[in-house]
Amino acid sequence: MAIKVIMDVDTGSDDAVCIMTAATSPDIDLVAVCTVWGNKAVENTTDNTLRLIDALGLKVPVYKGCDTAMVKYLTNDFVPTPERKPVMYQGKPFQMHAEHLDLPEAKSKPEAIPAACFYVDYLRNTTEKVTLVPVGPLTNLGLALRIAPDIVDKIDQIVIMGGGSKMTNCNPWSESNIWHDPEAAQIVAECGAKVVWIPLDATHEACITMDDCKRFDKIGTFAANFSAEQCRQRIIVHNAQQPLPVPDAAAVHDALCIAYLIDPTVITDLRHCHVEIGLSGYGEGQTIVDQRAYPLKKNGYFAFHADRFKFVDILCDCFKRPVQGT
């Protein structure tokens, strides 16, 4: 039986690949997509999500979510930050996440109620447990759990793209999705549901190469070709600003969450441990993974390693298939 999934996205490039993986997998029953601020403003992430949903011909409701953090918007003003020169490609500035996906303008509109309210309404009324896959800041879900803690009883598991133990990205101690809203992340971490963290430690191992993009191109479907385009975009930026140990490669973080649901063995080192989020001081936004011999109470599962080749095979298998639920 397919896994019922609600996704929560800040659609730029890797979110797009994630949505297309879910949309083409017979193992995933995509119930709804919520949007949130993060890679871009929520107006852009919502527009990008709707453009992609329409391009796929997917009949799934989209709920627009929060436009900033629950408590405060963090900045790196007090942290020395290396200057990054703009990435130039074919004589033009080039970004990891475009303001708008290169797709026709959306005809679909977001639903009337906000994402957090949708979570509360849907989860209180469903008779089946649902898996949540937030791959942006956790603001919508954190707010919903504060409004209605009882909805946790209807959550099968929460598979989060976020955090890092040995790896960070937006500053020396944190990963962007958690940094953007640490209070929301802490609410989710301690909510009582099964929480699986797919952090940078795993997503950087499960990278996509230019050769993998050629495999996608050969499949020839819209999902395969557009995923190849988004991955190439990421590789160009990675090569310029943060080259990976694997040549001509990029992390495509969010899609690993869906790949894990399809085949959990894509994560090769998943440890049951205590995870919490730093909420003050220099470590604000840090994902703290307690790996002591006598840790605090275990409240989550943290992915330390992933199988790159199995990840690519999962994507290829999905992209060969028609879009589900059209």
Return the active site residues. Answer: 253
CB 37 within 8 A of CB 139: yes
Residue with tokens 């879009």: 323
Angle at 181 between CA 289 and CA 109, to 5 degrees: 130
CB 114 within 8 A of CB 106: no
Report how far residue 150's alpha carbon sits from residue 41's, in angstroms, rounded to the nearest whole number. 30
Report how far residue 185's alpha carbon sits from residue 138's, in angstroms, rounded to the nearest whole number. 6
Residue with tokens 């929480």: 195
DSSP-assigned states of every residue in 76-106: -TTS-----PPEEETTEEE-SS-SS-SSPPP
Alpha carbon distances (Å) from 154 to 21, 93, 129, 213, 326: 24, 45, 5, 38, 26
CB 163 within 8 A of CB 275: yes
Report how far residue 151's alpha carbon sits from residue 245's, in angstroms, rounded to the nearest whole number. 42
Q: Which long-range contacts link 87-93 to residues 24+ away (Cβ below 8 Å)?
A: 87/236, 87/237, 87/240, 87/241, 89/236
Q: What is the DSSP letter of 295?
A: P
Distance of CA 139 to the CA centre of its chain: 13
Read off the tokens for 262. Answer: 């399809």
Distance of CA 318 to the CA centre of its chain: 18
